[in-house]
Amino acid sequence: MSNNFCAFHYTRNGNRVSGILVRDHATRQDGVELGAYFFGCAHNSVVFHNDGIYAGVAAVGRVVPQAQPSPASQEAHAIGMAHGHTSFSYCLFGETNRQGLLRFGADVPVPQTPRYRSTRILPALHAHDGAYHVSLVGVSLGAHILDAVGPEMFERRGEDGEGGCIIDVGTPLTVMAEEAYHVVEEAVWSELRRHGAERVEQHDYGLCVRATEATKGRLPSMSLHFAEEEARLVVSPEHLFLIMDDVYKQAGQIACLAMRPGRRTVIGALQQVDTRFVFDLEGDKIFFAPESCTKETTLVV
């Protein structure tokens, strides 16, 4: 606490955020006061690179029925139910000089076109779990299914819900269960090496190669397969790899696999770019479809 401000510092899945906690009041459109709640205003964020930019990360977690929700969660839930808002939608884009929309209720696109796929939101396993769990069963690289990656690698274990797979915009880069990650990394390297790629070292990344024009043209796509038939999230090469300057040799660029190993699989923000997500909380489903997300953004001058 300093000068009547409460500062916070938060680290999660490789992202470090700091800012100020503030207290506000929620009021319905009819003027009814719903009480006080707290929220954090981030001033800077490592990995998301939002220093000096009016942008942030919103967490829209579920209110677990058996849990004792926080006042903020109770109020958000009450507001949503009062107005029939049982769904929300977003479409992430990769440009920092534009503003997008987080849509609720009647403003959410209806996912009826054939391009949409859906997967079920799995039930929470404990009282304080507001994450969106999904059933991931396999991974493909390009058109080839990786047979060494099995559904057991993504299963939730025990009452504490260790393992499993969640979708989370608050995680910058996808985290994959360690056993599955090593299979994916080796498959990607085998594919790139076959086309003459040169491997290089880069801090915080497991696989990086010299980003020549020939290599960039050979970067593969990846597909995440869910339990439902044909429910497949395709991640393009542009969102599977990060192109960056080589800080060690001070020359040229490198391409790094934008994933990290971990205890639980988390489908992160970068791998959600240019995909429309619709969360149907009443039907316990997540719909998704490829979309050029910059179309509904506005330029920040």
Q: Residue 52 — left, alpha, or beta (φ > 0 → left; ψ -120 to 50 → alpha)?
A: left
What pLDDT score was predicted for residue 243?
94
d(CA 183, CA 177): 10
CB 86 within 8 A of CB 285: no
What is the DSSP code (8-state) at residue 2?
A: B
Residue type at position 156: R
CA dihedral of 204, 210, 214, 215, whole degrees rounded to 10: -30
Find the DSSP H helices in the chain.
71-82, 178-194, 213-216, 237-240
Report residue 292 as tokens.
Answer: 């050029």
Task: Using the predicted structure, report yes or no on whether residue 37 has a pLDDT greater than 70.
Answer: no
The values of phi and psi at residue 278, to 5°, are -125, 120
Cβ neighbourhood burial of 143 (10 Å; 0-12, 13-18, 19+)? exposed
What pLDDT score was predicted for residue 119?
97
In the chain the domains, ranked by start, together with CATH numbers, are 111-299 (2.40.70.10)
d(CA 299, CA 297): 7
Share of the chain above pLDDT 90, in %: 52
What pLDDT score was predicted for residue 118?
97
> How would residue 162 be classed by pLDDT, with cut points 50, 70 and 90?
confident
Higher pLDDT, 298 or 138: 138
Q: How far is CA 146 from CA 122, 150, 153, 185, 258, in A?
A: 24, 8, 13, 11, 18
**Range 272-286 average pLDDT:** 95
Tens-place pLDDT, residues 232-264 = 999 999 999 999 988 666 668 999 999 999 999
Task: Using the predicted structure, report yes or no on whether residue 216 has a pLDDT greater than 90.
Answer: yes
What pLDDT score was predicted for residue 240?
97
Tens-place pLDDT, residues 113-147 = 899 999 999 998 777 788 999 999 999 999 999 99
Find the DSSP H helices in 176-259.
178-194, 213-216, 237-240
Residue whose entry in the numeric block shows the structure tokens 């696989």: 207
Q: Of 156, 96, 149, which Cα lies nearest the Cα of 125? A: 156
Task: Using the predicted structure, report yes or no on whether residue 14 has a pLDDT greater than 90.
Answer: no
Tens-place pLDDT, residues 49-82 = 555 554 555 556 665 544 444 444 444 444 444 4
Averaged pLDDT of the chain: 83
Cβ neighbourhood burial of 219 (10 Å; 0-12, 13-18, 19+)? buried
Q: What is the pTM of this model?
A: 0.80
Neighbouring-strand partners of residue 102: 90
Strands 33-45 and 265-267: unpaired
Ranked by mean pLDDT, the top range of 94-103, 180-189, 202-211 is: 180-189
> How would residue 101 be classed by pLDDT, with cut points 50, 70 and 90?
confident
